[in-house]
């Protein structure tokens, strides 16, 4: 059982590493605990202070859902793909990372921000 969980963990780290690299960010950021969330915020276009919300009970669930949906959209996928990433991350992250047709399209959360 321990071996299986280690293999799945390594697969997720490798997938995140590859996704960060596709977005032009350092791949090693996938293995640094809080910095990987900050890099993910940069990839999706959210302000970095949203990282603090991951440490607030209940808010962390809402922020995680929003970020997964935005993360999928940042790679040109639909909101439905983002929902699948929420429920099946061990399957969807590697598919997104190792798919040759998946390209980083840019931060999508910036598009939703009102122009002043």
Q: What is the mean pLDDT of the chain?
A: 92
pLDDT at res. 3 = 96
**By the 8 A CB rule, do 93 and 15 touch?**
yes
35-44 and 59-74 are packed helices; what angle lies between their axes, rounded to 10 degrees? 50
- Specify the pTM: 0.88
109 pLDDT higher than 90: no
Of all residues in the chain, the percent with pLDDT exceeding 90 is: 91
Which tens digits make up the pLDDT trace of 24-76? 999 999 999 999 999 999 999 999 999 999 999 999 999 999 999 999 999 99
| Secondary structure (DSSP) of 8-70 | HHHHHHHHHHHHHHHTTS-GGGGGSTTHHHHHHHHHHT--GGGGGGGGSTTHHHHHHHHHHHH
Burial of 24 from C-beta contacts in 10 A (0-12 / 13-18 / 19+):
exposed
pLDDT at res. 113 = 52
22 pLDDT higher than 60: yes
**By the 8 A CB rule, do 80 and 49 touch?**
no
């Amino acid at each position: 059982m321990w071996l299986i969980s280690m293999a799945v963990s390594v697969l997720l780290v490798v997938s995140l590493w590859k996704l960060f690299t596709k977005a032009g960010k350092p791949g090693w950021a996938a293995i640094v605990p809080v910095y990987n969330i900050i890099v993910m915020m940069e990839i999706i276009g959210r302000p970095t202070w949203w990282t603090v919300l991951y440490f607030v009970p209940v808010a962390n669930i809402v922020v995680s859902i929003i970020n997964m949906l935005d993360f999928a959209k940042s790679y040109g996928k639909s909101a439905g793909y983002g929902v699948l990433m929420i429920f099946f991350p061990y399957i969807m992250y590697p598919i997104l990372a190792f798919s040759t047709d998946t390209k980083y399209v840019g931060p999508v959360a910036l598009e939703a921000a009102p122009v002043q």
